Structure 1
């Protein structure tokens, strides 16, 4: 039997190769059916009969969008997340023996169906007010035609991003077939650059995972025969392996999009990850753009590795980490959550539920809001008072060290998953990451009182 990683990488490579054939097809309907059929072949190959889960989820969501445009976003949100939890419970209690790939497919599908329901809802509200306002290029662009059930299935089962993401809106999907910006967008140099990154990341991943296997956390000798400093160091190495693996998935998903043409837009429209164009919408209404017009694929970019690695704060890093998913969380959870003070906690809680039901997801992701609160205090109280370049560099360096420390700890918890393993490791390092953050908070409060 092939390992999950082998199957996963094989389908990514096949999808990348398929994208060049897909790009050459000119007929819209044939192109659309090709993407859907190949997407279903992928799901059937990794899930077998359990393809029934994505089908049920898509069918019910599509019906909800047809029946009630005013409330479909809320109904789809509750149903798809409820179904995702049901799917996880059956898997975790071993009622069903589905593959991990089916879980990935269900995760991406959940985002796409909820995002589409919001697009349908928002378009419905815009159309209601159309008669009151003059023509608005932005509203016109953001308004989608009501997709029928078949069109919802086409979007849900499109092979692009079906295993890895990125998340892209229905409008972006529709533009691939109806607006041929991808024909004018240069892409080969970008592909070569990203393929080189993949080759380097593969080397880093294979070497580091061989030297520092995650299985050590379950080895009794790791806790009895190693020093405290080594156990803390292992937290950093495990996070290096973890993020290298994620980087590979992100970059692979990007090259599949680029090769297929998904997410190409005029650069003047300033496309953003997940969102698509954000300015100059009138350009998108022009059928014949100038030959000198520049295009990019920023809409489907998930990560800027250099920025993530070098930025000094957790808040800054979270905004540029898996950016298409961050857009989804910001747009459909954070901005629309009714209680402003709880928006950050709600966003990270939904993210934890989306990732899975293991304690490690909640311990890692739901710890982030408290650290962000402490980090903001330090960023405001200390960096703003630095009156020289030397002091600013010092505080930037200290915040960077704290960022890497917290990310490494959270990444470790995220991978260990089970509460008994997590507690064992935390006890072995004397809960130092928690003590450090609490100490930072106490010092900041003492400094505030002293200043007052």
Structure 2
């Protein structure tokens, strides 16, 4: 029996029957903060750091969660993937790792589903989902390290692994104490440069700059001193060098994440549990008005997100405290701590369009899907196509599991994204014209209202999981989200875009009734900053994924 089972059982009873596994997870995440303080004070020996993480992982899995099977699954899967990349040199190396890792995870997902394991119980699928991201990205990074540099994108060059790591370093990455249970997942090169201190390397300009005196005050180990360090092995940028490194103090940003995590725990304890998504299946929910149903869904979806906010914030804070969250310096010379951020809560909750919302949710998983699925299935020199999108969607769905609710959410979400592009492309330019620009705040508000209402409606099946119950709740809401999607498409099919043309023409007129001249450049819009023109004939310019009118100079 795990050594703390009695303690967590008594604690569960005293706090109103909260799942013991949930309590264990919170305990583990909170314990990672003092562990991070110990970790960063270890002697500078990468092997010692690897052993520390592996030891902590064994204690957590064996003595806290009673998940020895999860450890063996992770260890076995990691060693098999390591062997594949050691002996299979070509493109089939990462492909085999991908198929093996995702296939093994799928088997465990299916077993969990058939066993009807509730989400109050934490099993091996949790850490294995993080493991899949690490193993597959590692495999492609090894593959990239064997290719000519000129064939790699800038991102691929920065993450390419040019030398196979030792087993100890590799397992230290897999079992890093700050992220092996619930994430964040991160790249192997980030871990290597973190443990060998290259992540904190500073150049002569930095050392001699004025900001050094400011940042020296934050040094947690050796106040007022930069540390000399010699990299014994050939560096990944191709030179042997001695360097100096400086580890900024991440205590304040780490404590910020910790405090917000605790705040959301209190939110769940005080009111979050009063709005379960399962209540939508009750007779009471069935008998309330449509407006109250829709309002309840908004609150319940927010409360369902709180558990993600908690684990992601707490895990990120521990990574920041250990130093892994360090991500260089901004233009003012201040340290950035967003290397392993998985959620931008404010950006998510205030997003006024679907793209912005999705870009701030489960960030590291989205990076993985983009860099190791979406772009990898696209032929070199070609643009991502429909197959790229389908492959990415399919991988994401399988990675989550096989409950029908996941697929209802993902498929519906794809249609919502399509509607978002349509509306933003054709409607937004109206409020960028001189005449209607004063109404832009109103447009932004309704964009936020539509986005948040729609996403909370779409994720109902993601929380309910079963096909029958998901469709039942949507039926109680008259499938309002799907009806809105259909109506918008029908409106544009019937020629609503012609009305938009007239409105934009009116908005471009000056006081004399003359239409102002606007530059027209017919280039295909690919979302990466090129000038575009839509069906209305109004020239548009892409700025950070948004389209604006471009005035003729």
Give the CA deviation at 1:211. 2.7
CA distance change for structure 1 residues 203 and 190 in 2, over 3 Å: closer, same or farther?
same
- Which one is further off, 351-360 or 137-146? 137-146
Q: What's 1:66 paired with?
A: 86
> For 2:157 and 2:69, how far apart are their aligned partners in 1?
42
Please state if 1:264 is matched with 2:326. yes
List aligned pairs for 1:149-228, cutoff 5 A: 149-179=167-197, 181=199, 184-223=247-286, 225-228=287-290
Give the CA deviation at 1:294. 4.2
Q: Which of 206, 230, 238 is 2:292 aligned to?
A: 230
- Which one is further off, 14-23 or 1-10? 1-10
Q: Which runs of 5+ in 2 are unaligned?
A: 1-8, 13-19, 201-245, 379-383, 502-535, 537-553
**Cα pair 2:49 2:172 within 8 Å, conserved:** no
Give the CA deviation at 1:126. 3.1
> For 1:137 and 1:395, how far apart are their aligned partners in 2?
36
List aligned pairs for 1:411-422, cutoff 5 A: 411-422=459-470
> For 1:178 and 1:157, how far apart are their aligned partners in 2?
17
**Cα pair 2:94 2:140 within 8 Å, conserved:** yes
**Cα pair 2:275 2:299 within 8 Å, conserved:** yes
Q: What's 2:29 paired with?
A: 12
Ranked by relative contact order (alpha carbons within 8 Å, sequence separation 6 or more), the top structure is 1
Please state if 1:405 is matched with 2:453. yes
Q: What's 2:493 paired with?
A: 445
List aligned pairs for 1:35-50, cutoff 5 A: 35-44=53-62, 45-46=64-65, 47-50=67-70
**Cα pair 2:141 2:156 within 8 Å, conserved:** no
**Cα pair 1:144 1:171 within 8 Å, conserved:** no
- Which one is further off, 235-244 or 144-153? 144-153
**Cα pair 1:359 1:417 within 8 Å, conserved:** yes
CA distance change for structure 1 residues 143 and 181 in 2, over 3 Å: closer, same or farther?
closer
Query: For this pair of structures, how many residues does the alignment match?
Result: 424
Q: Which has the larger radius of gyration?
A: 2
Specify which structure has the higher proportion of helix.
Answer: 1
Secondary structure at the aligned position of 2:271 is classed as helix
Give the CA deviation at 1:66. 0.5
Q: CA RMSD in A?
A: 2.7
> For 2:116 and 2:71, how far apart are their aligned partners in 1?
16
Please state if 1:22 is matched with 2:39. yes
Give the CA deviation at 1:226. 2.0
> For 2:289 and 2:69, how far apart are their aligned partners in 1?
49
Give the CA deviation at 1:173. 0.7
List aligned pairs for 1:426-445, cutoff 5 A: 426-445=474-493
> For 1:428 and 1:216, how far apart are their aligned partners in 2?
13
Give the CA deviation at 1:263. 3.3
Give the CA deviation at 1:128. 9.5
Q: What's 2:132 paired with?
A: 110
**Normalising to structure 2: TM-score of the pair?**
0.71
Please state if 1:355 is matched with 2:431. no
- Which one is further off, 43-52 or 1-10? 43-52
Q: What's 2:342 paired with?
A: 302
Q: Which of 317, 321, 340 is 2:357 aligned to?
A: 317
> For 2:158 and 2:255, how far apart are their aligned partners in 1?
36
Secondary structure at the aligned position of 1:367 is classed as helix
> For 1:355 and 1:395, how far apart are their aligned partners in 2?
35
Give the CA deviation at 1:398. 2.1
> For 1:86 and 1:48, how far apart are their aligned partners in 2?
18
Please state if 1:124 is matched with 2:146. yes
List aligned pairs for 1:344-383, cutoff 5 A: 344-383=389-428
**Normalising to structure 1: TM-score of the pair?**
0.86
> For 1:378 and 1:163, how far apart are their aligned partners in 2?
40
Q: Which runs of 5+ in 1 are unaligned?
A: 131-135, 271-291
Give the CA deviation at 1:341. 2.3
**Cα pair 2:397 2:406 within 8 Å, conserved:** yes
> For 2:450 and 2:294, how far apart are their aligned partners in 1?
14
Give the CA deviation at 1:21. 0.8
Deviations 1:123-168 (A, max 9, x none): 11136989xxxxx999477444212444332221221211121111
Deviations 1:318-365 (A, max 9, x none): 112121221111111122233612433432332221111111111112
> For 1:428 and 1:140, how far apart are their aligned partners in 2?
50
